């Protein structure tokens, strides 16, 4: 009896599981019209304007942009460059080609988190003055960005150049680059030492394989 029961289960158990999985696929395609991917998409933003009303005591300045950036956005920005919490790069252009000045700043009116840069803010008062033309070169996270739902996005995703080519509605900036060229290891890593230990551990395992199996004691199963 045990043999019969086992045989029946082994032959038919795939069916209910397959039905559940078919439902999952259907849910993946039909159940969600839009896949919200928070923090996945980021848009880079450059804002160029003229500096005025620099107050080095309170570390604020006013930036008058040359043109309206987006509909509804102000053309005059108050910049607080005293905070290190939200970093926003400012690039000074003009007097000395090839040299760049970057400072940390909070920009009133812009919400969200920005890329973090580490700058030297020394000698700021000597290099930045009213009338300078500077450019914000930060990257703004578009936390409300949504991907248009399709089988492609439910199943996989094209890599960055392909997405760019397809003119997807959201610009893939940092994340997709990380995703897509992770194959090269991406240089430095926060867990570098951990991976080094992992690699050594792998070598130990491989060493065990070589010594245990290749040299004499190998066997089937």
Q: How far is the CB of 144 from other proteins (least distance, A)?
A: 14
State how far the alpha carbon of 39 is from the alpha carbons of 57, 92, 127, in Å: 35, 29, 35
Question: At closest approach, how far in Å is the CB of 35 from other proteins?
Answer: 7
* Widest pairwise Cα distance in the chain: 92
Q: How many CA atoms lie within 13 A of 61 on its CB side?
A: 24
Residues 6+ away with beta carbon under 8 Å from 186? 178
204 makes contact with other proteins (CB under 8 A): no
Kindly state whether residue 154 participates in binding other proteins, applying the rule CB under 8 A: yes
Does position 126 bind other proteins by CB under 8 A? Answer: no
214 sits near other proteins (criterion: CB under 8 A): yes
**40 near other proteins (CB under 8 A):** yes
Within positions 43 to 72, which residues make up the interface with other proteins, using CB under 8 A? Answer: none
Helix (H) or strand (E) segment spanning residue 174? helix 174-180
- Among 65, 117, 124, 170, contact with other proteins (rule: CB under 8 A): 117
CA within 13 Å, CB half, 57: 0
Is 188 a binding residue for other proteins by CB under 8 A? The answer is yes
Per CB under 8 A, does 198 bind other proteins?
yes
19, two tokens? 């039905």
Task: CB nearer to other proteins: give 2 or 71.
Answer: 2
- 127 versus 159: smaller Cβ distance to other proteins: 159
């Amino acid at each position: 009896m045990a043999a019969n029961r086992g045989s029946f289960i082994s032959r038919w158990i795939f069916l209910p599981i397959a039905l559940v999985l078919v439902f999952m696929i259907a849910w993946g395609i039909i159940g969600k019209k839009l896949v919200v991917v928070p923090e996945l998409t980021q848009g880079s933003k450059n804002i160029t304007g003229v500096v005025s009303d620099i107050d080095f005591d309170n570390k604020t300045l006013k930036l008058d942009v040359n043109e309206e950036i987006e509909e509804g956005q102000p053309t005059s920005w108050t910049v607080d460059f005293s905070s290190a919490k939200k970093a926003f790069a400012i690039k000074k252009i003009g007097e000395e080609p090839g040299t760049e000045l970057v400072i940390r700043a909070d920009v009133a009116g812009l919400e969200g988190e920005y890329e973090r840069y580490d700058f030297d803010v020394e000698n700021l008062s000597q290099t930045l003055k009213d009338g300078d033309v500077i450019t914000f070169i930060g990257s703004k996270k578009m936390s409300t960005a949504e991907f248009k739902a399709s089988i492609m996005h439910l199943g996989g995703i094209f890599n960055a150049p392909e997405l760019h080519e397809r003119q997807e509605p959201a610009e893939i900036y940092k994340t997709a680059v990380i995703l897509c060229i992770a194959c090269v290891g991406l240089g430095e890593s926060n867990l570098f030492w951990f991976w080094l230990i992992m690699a050594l551990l792998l070598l130990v395992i491989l060493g065990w394989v070589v010594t245990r199996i290749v040299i004499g004691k190998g066997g089937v199963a």
